[in-house]
């Protein structure tokens, strides 16, 4: 939201953030791919939409290369492994041991099949050799809500969206998925500190419909660069 406000000031017009969850972000991406190329509708895309989905699905309702024009990168950050506050584990090592003692007993919230949190969790299961029961949701918001209320046991989510909840104490962070600790959560260990070789980062960037004129894309690129520099 801070980035949207910064971009709005640079463009001297309102920037409305419209969340269109579902299908790992592909529903929102489809709506932008089909939008008018006037610069009024752009996409905050992710690793899941432009890197994972094209490899995961045989067909998509959009072409991830031909239907978009890249505007600018926004941020690169890890995911974070979270558990409900009432789960009796305080470290990733304790989580792994708990999962091995009770195979399949822990419910893992999955905010959409094929999303980066889903693949990060599957990588954890594979390397740590643990069995978790997946509970799939349409988007991150309902998954996070059920984690906070204790309906599920753990969730992998983006550091950028999870940090306010971690700071508020509504969930417990066990590890970030980057190779080293993240400056966004410096006190939270990296997963690799417990599970050597584990690493998975996520990127976000802005895309415009392919029919958008280059002059509009160039302006959005420049104004985004200033907005990012002033919000960092």
| Token digits of residue 126 | 């594979």
User: Nearest 5 degrees, angle CA 126-CA 131-CA 136?
Assistant: 95
Residues of the chain falling short of pLDDT 50? 1
Q: What is the pLDDT of residue 230?
A: 66
The pTM of this model reads: 0.76
For 196, half-sphere exposure in the C-beta direction (CA atoms, 13 angstrom radius) is: 0
CA-to-CA distance for 162 and 22, rounded, in angstroms? 19
Q: What's the distance, CA 124 to chain centroid? A: 16
Sequence-separated (6 or more) residues with CB below 8 Å from residue 48: 24, 25, 112, 114, 115, 116, 202
Residue 57 pLDDT: 85
How distant, in Å, are the alpha carbons of 5, 139, 146, 164 from that of 157? 23, 11, 13, 12
pLDDT in tens, 41-52: 999 998 888 988
For residue 168, the model assigns a pLDDT of: 95
For 213-222, give one letter per residue: b (16+ CB within 10 A) or e. eeebbeebee
How far, in Å, CA of 103 to CA of 26, rounded? 32
User: Which phi and psi angles does 23 have, rounded to 5°?
Assistant: 55, 40
């Amino acid at each position: 939201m801070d980035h949207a406000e910064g971009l709005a000031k640079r463009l001297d017009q309102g920037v409305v953030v419209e969340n269109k969850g579902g299908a790992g972000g592909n529903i929102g991406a489809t709506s932008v791919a089909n939008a008018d190329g006037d610069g009024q509708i752009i996409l905050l895309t992710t690793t899941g939409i432009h890197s994972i989905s094209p490899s995961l699905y045989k067909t998509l309702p959009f072409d991830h290369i031909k239907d978009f024009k890249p505007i600018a990168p926004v941020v690169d950050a890890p995911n974070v492994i979270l558990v409900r506050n009432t789960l009796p584990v305080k470290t990733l090592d304790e989580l792994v041991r708990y999962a091995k003692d009770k195979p399949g007993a822990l419910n893992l919230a999955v905010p959409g099949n094929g999303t980066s949190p889903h693949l990060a969790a599957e990588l954890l299961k594979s390397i740590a050799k643990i069995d978790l029961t997946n509970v799939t949701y349409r988007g991150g918001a309902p998954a996070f809500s059920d984690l906070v209320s204790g309906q599920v046991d753990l969730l992998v989510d983006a550091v950028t969206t999870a940090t306010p909840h971690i700071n508020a104490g509504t969930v417990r962070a066990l590890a970030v998925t980057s190779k080293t600790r993240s400056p966004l959560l410096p006190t939270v260990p990296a997963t690799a500190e417990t599970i050597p070789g584990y690493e998975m980062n996520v990127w976000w960037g802005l895309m415009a419909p392919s029919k958008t004129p280059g002059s509009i894309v160039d302006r959005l690129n420049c104004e985004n660069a200033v907005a990012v520099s002033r919000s960092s």
